[in-house]
Amino acid sequence: MADPIIQLENVTKRFDDFEALKGVSADIREGEFFSLLGPSGCGKTTLLRTIAGFEAPTSGQVRIAGQDMAGVPPNRRPTNMVFQSYAIFPHLDVAGNVGFGLRRSPMSAAEKARAVDEALEMVGLAGYGRRAAHALSGGQRQRVALARALVLKPRVLLLDEPLSALDKKLREQMQGELRRLQRQVGITFILVTHDQEEALIMSDRIAVMFEGQIAQMANPEMLYRRPVSRRVAEFIGVMNFLPARVTASSPAGIEVEIAGLGRATLSGDSHAEAAPGEPPSVGIRPEMLTILFGNEPETGRVAEGEVREVVYYGDMTYYEIAIDGAPGTVTVSMRNLVNRPVLRRGERTRISWDERALILFR
C-alpha cells in the first residue's frame, strides 16, 4: 500500500493548563474518506486545525506526504479547509470567493476563470459566479466553500462539521453529494462530525475520539460490530448491557453466566474493555434480539419477558422489554412486516438471540 498521506505521531496540544489532545497517533491513507467522530469538546476541531497548521502541536509530529510540517504555515500546506462557518468572504462575489486562492497561481486569467467555472459546476453551482456572497442560502454557501477549497487541488480536504448548520433534509442530501464528490476527485477528505450516523454513512474509516484521545479507529462495520470499549459501543448506535459473570476462560472461548439469558460461550475475540470500575457485562444490539410472535418456531436460544414500552417508528417498532431474571429493560427493534402484529404494553413475549451477537465487556 502507498505511504499514508497524513501521519500523526503522538500529537499533543495544550492550551494553557488544558490538554485538548493527549497523544494522538494515526495514519490516514491517500484517497480515503476519513472521519473524526466524537462528542463536542473532545478535540476534533483542534486536531483538524493542527493538521491545517492553525495550531502547532505542543509535542509530537504531523507529517503530510512524508514531510514534517513543523513550522510550515497553513498557506504552505497542501491542505485546504471548509470552515464550520464556511467563512465566505462577504465583500467578494461567488467567483471572487472560489478564485481567491488562485491569485498567486501562474495560470492565465482565462485559465483561472475556467478553473473557477469547473469548480462551480462540480458543486452544482454552474452560472452562480456573479452572485453576491450575502445572497446565498446555507446550502449554497457550503458549496461555495467546497468549490473554493477544491479549485486549488489540495492533497487533503479538511471539513469541520460542514453539514451541522443545515436542516435535516438538506443535510442528508449533502451527505450523499459529498461522498460522490470525494469519489470523483479522489482527494483525501477528513471530516469532523459529532453525528455518528453521518460518520457511519459517509466514511471509509472513522476515528472515535474521547477527551483528546482516539478510542478506536476502524471502518464503519468493524466499529459497529466490534467496538473496543463500552464507551465506543454506547456512542455508536444503541447497545443493551446485561450483567455477566465469567465462569471459565480459555483461548478457545469464554464461558459466561448472563443475567436473564443464562450460560453462553463466547469466542475468544468477542470481548472488549468495560469502563474502569464497571462490573463485567455482555452487550447485544437491539436488532440482534428477535421477538417471536405467536407460535413462531425458535431459531436459537430463547428468553422470556414482558413488554414495558412500545415506540412505533413506522418502518420499525422499538420495544423496551423486561427479561425475566435481568435488571432493567433491553431495547429490541423489529422491522414492521405485513404479517407482524405490534405488541402492546404488558404483553408477555419470547425473545430469541444468538451467542455470536454477544460482546463481553470486562
Partner 1 sequence: MSEWRSSEAARGLALVGPTLLYAVAMLAVPLGAVLVYSFLTDGYLTIIPEFTLANYAEVFSDPIYRQVMARSLGVALAVTVATVVLAYPVAYFVAFHVRPERRSLWLFLITIPFWTSYLIRVFLWKVILGYNGVVNATLTGLGIIDEPLTFILYNVNAVVITLAHAYAPFAILPIFVALGKIDRTLLEAAQDLGESRLATFLRVTLPLSVPGVVAAVLIVFIPTVGDYVTPRLVGGPEGRMIANIIQLQYLRLDNYPLGSALAVTAMAIVTVIAVGFVLSLRRYLRVRQ
Partner 2 sequence: MKGRWLRAYTVLYLLFLYAPIALLPIFAFNDATIIAFPLGGFTGRWFVELGKVPALHDAALNSVFIAAMASVSATVLGMLAACASTRYEFPAKRPIMGFIMLPLVLPEIIVGVSLLVVILRAGLHLSHWSIIAGHILIVTPFSIAILSSAFASLDRSLEEAAIDLGETPWSTFRLVTLPLVMPGIISSLLIGFTISLDEFIIAFFLSGSEPTLPVYIFGQLRFPQKIPIIMALGTILVVLSILLLVTAEYFRRRGIRRAGGQDSGGFLG
Ligand X SMILES: Nc1ncnc2c1ncn2[C@@H]1O[C@H](COP(=O)(O)OP(=O)(O)O)[C@@H](O)[C@H]1O
Which position has the grid cell 493527549?
22
Class of residue 201 by CB neighbours under 10 A (exposed 0-12, middle 13-18, buried 19+): middle
Name the minimum Å distance from CB 55 to partner 1. Answer: 6
Q: Which three cell numbers stand for residue 176?
A: 450523499
**Which of 83, 210, 293, 318 lies at the binding interface for partner 2 (CB under 8 A)?**
83
**Which of 45, 142, 182, 203 lies at the binding interface for Mg ion (CB under 5 A)?**
45
Q: Which is nearer to Mg ion, 199 or 289 (CB)?
A: 199
Q: Which one of ligand X, Mg ion, partner 1, none is in contact with 18 (Cβ closer than 5 to 8 A by kind)?
A: ligand X
Class of residue 338 by CB neighbours under 10 A (exposed 0-12, middle 13-18, buried 19+): exposed
Does 89 contact partner 2 by CB under 8 A? yes
Q: Which is nearer to partner 1, 43 or 283 (CB)?
A: 43
Q: Which is nearer to partner 2, 159 or 330 (CB)?
A: 159
Q: Which is nearer to partner 2, 41 or 73 (CB)?
A: 73
Using CB under 8 A as the binding rule, the residues of this chain from 108 to 167 that contact partner 2 are 134, 148-149, 152
Name the minimum Å distance from CB 46 to partner 1. Answer: 12
The amino acid at residue 48 is L
Does 265 contact partner 2 by CB under 8 A? no
Closest of 174, 167, 173 to residue 143, by C-alpha: 174
Does 15 contact partner 2 by CB under 8 A? no
Does 193 contact Mg ion by CB under 5 A? no
Name the minimum Å distance from CB 234 to partner 2. Answer: 32
**Which of 40, 75, 250, 295 lies at the binding interface for ligand X (CB under 6 A)?**
40
Q: Which stretch in 22-30, 44-52, 252-260, 268-276 sits in contact with ligand X by CB under 6 A?
A: 44-52
Rounded Cα–Cα distance for residues 247 and 3 (Å): 45
Rounded Cα–Cα distance for residues 230 and 238 (Å): 11
Closest of 112, 40, 48 to residue 83, by C-alpha: 48
Does 216 contact Mg ion by CB under 5 A? no
Q: Which is nearer to partner 1, 44 or 194 (CB)?
A: 44
Q: Which is nearer to partner 2, 80 or 290 (CB)?
A: 80
73, HSE (Cβ side, Cα atoms, 13 Å): 1
Q: How far is CA 339 from the centre of its chain?
A: 35
For residue 218, the tally of other CB atoms under 10 A from its CB is 17
Does 222 contact partner 2 by CB under 8 A? no
Name the minimum Å distance from CB 21 to partner 1. Answer: 13
Query: Do 244 and 280 contact (CB within 8 A), yes or no?
Result: yes
> Which residues neighbour 264 within 8 Å (Cβ) at sequence distance 6 or greater?
255, 256, 258, 282, 301, 355, 358
Q: Which is nearer to ligand X, 44 or 231 (CB)?
A: 44
**Which of 28, 32, 35, 43 lies at the binding interface for ligand X (CB under 6 A)?**
43
Rounded Cα–Cα distance for residues 125 and 128 (Å): 6
Pairing of strands 156-160, 18-28: unpaired
Q: What does the binding site for partner 2 look like in residue numbers (CB under 8 A)?
A: 52, 54, 73-75, 79-81, 83-85, 87, 89-91, 100-101, 103-104, 134, 148-149, 152
Q: Which residues are at the interface with Mg ion (CB under 5 A)?
A: 45
